[in-house]
Structure 1
Amino acid sequence: MNESMVEWSRRVGQAELSVELPRRWAHSHGVAGRAAGLGRVLGEDADLLVAAATLHDVGYTPRLAATGFHPLDGARFLRDEHRADERLVRLVANHSFALLEAEERGLREVLEAEFPLVEEPLLVDALVYCDMTTTPDGTRTTAQDRVAEILGRYGADSVVGRFIRRASPEIFAAVERVEAALAGQPR
């Protein structure tokens, strides 16, 4: 029997994060749980979203942190070591408006060249929604509280702080679009 994408992502995520970064694994596990609840609005892409949610922060693993930019490092790991599905890799690379953070780090052109954006708005929004409504410990929160938590943890003048301030309007809009889709309203 072949291993499903969801089972594979859980196995890889747990192997890479659970021991060295247990809190990051708790977050990723919580994000995946949120993703599992979006199946009715994503249809055939539901498993892809759960896999991307599970692996979105794998690039934080110290052995993978070549550039120090976790979306890029994680995507390269999935592509190079696992030959993972291209859409999955591109979702991990671009999760939660990573292009804006890449720009802050001088890596935007690299990220865009290696991992073009996935051109499926609801799928991209859904990953933002799952990530930005889950605390570092894996519990549910609001996007506003999550952004505030990130700012508090990193500081407003850090690379991440500058990025999250720039991205917050886009994050809030993505969350609203997913909530509207879940409520059965037009986007």
Structure 2
Amino acid sequence: MPDLVDLADAKAEMIRVLGSSATRRQHVRGVARTAANACRLLRTSEIVVSAAWLHDIGYAPELAATGLHSLDGARYLRTAGAEDRICRLVANHTHAWLEAEGRGLAEVLAAEFPAEHSLTADVLTYADLTTSPTGESIGVEARIAEILRRYPSDDVVHCSIANAAPELIATVRRVEAALAAAQPR
């Protein structure tokens, strides 16, 4: 069984499970790169980089059970023996509890994978929301707009991201401020 805290194992598991989804893999690589850079500067737990490699694993068609990719991914990771903290970070990344509400899964998500409110969790959201689908750096507002364009206005993802936008932007700004303060002078 792979040690999913180990970065090489987490990356290999992402590639194995997501398979031929080149675009998804590009995004995940960019998120992991951004998380690693932030982690280094902020001295947060490196577990965030493993979680970054694994954060979108729930998009794999064979894992999709609830429609909430973060929950499906975290459940898979739990059965694969991943550390609880990785599962909780993946389950709640990018404020997934707001989409869970729209899907009627908020209580399930909270019971199975209680959210961690920390700089480490914020770094994962920051990395996801400042990385384009092709793995390039992007501003948070442009990333949110890109997500909203991908989903019809009545889709639960569109609605939850639109409603969460102020919170998501505030999370990214907190991490940006911490990164600015951590820069060598």
- Shorter-chain TM-score bucket reads over 0.9
Aligned to 2:180: 183
Note closer, same or farther for the CA distance 1:161–1:44 as it changes in structure 2 (3 Å cut).
closer
Structure 1 residue identity aligned to 2:82: A
Counterparts of 2:54 and 2:7 in 1: how far apart (Å)? Answer: 10
Aligned to 2:73: 74
Alignment root-mean-square deviation, CA: 1.5
Structure 1 residue identity aligned to 2:121: V
Percent pairwise identity: 48
Residues 128 and 174, structure 1, Cα contact 8 Å, conserved in 2: yes
Counterparts of 1:65 and 1:36 in 2: how far apart (Å)? Answer: 27
Residues 71 and 92, structure 1, Cα contact 8 Å, conserved in 2: yes
Aligned to 2:26: 26
Structure 1: unaligned runs, 5 residues or longer: none
Structure 2: unaligned runs, 5 residues or longer: none
Q: Per-residue deviation at 1:40?
A: 3.2
TM-score scaled by length of structure 2: 0.93
Counterparts of 2:125 and 2:41 in 1: how far apart (Å)? Answer: 15
160, 167, 170: which one aligns with 1:170: 167
Residues 129 and 175, structure 1, Cα contact 8 Å, conserved in 2: yes
What's the CA shift string for 1:48-77, capped at 9, x where partnerless? 111111110000000111112100100000
Counterparts of 2:25 and 2:18 in 1: how far apart (Å)? Answer: 5
Structure 1 residue identity aligned to 2:160: F
Counterparts of 2:121 and 2:42 in 1: how far apart (Å)? Answer: 11
Counterparts of 1:31 and 1:13 in 2: how far apart (Å)? Answer: 13
Counterparts of 1:112 and 1:163 in 2: how far apart (Å)? Answer: 17
Matches within 5 A, 1:85-100: 85-100=83-98
Q: Per-residue deviation at 1:118?
A: 1.4
Counterparts of 2:42 and 2:89 in 1: how far apart (Å)? Answer: 15
Q: Secondary structure at the match of 2:94?
A: coil
Structure 2 residue identity aligned to 1:94: N
Matches within 5 A, 1:40-119: 40-43=40-43, 45=45, 47-80=46-79, 82-119=80-117
Counterparts of 2:61 and 2:99 in 1: how far apart (Å)? Answer: 19
Number of matched pairs: 180
Counterparts of 2:15 and 2:40 in 1: how far apart (Å)? Answer: 26
Q: Per-residue deviation at 1:44?
A: 5.2
Residues 10 and 54, structure 2, Cα contact 8 Å, conserved in 1: yes
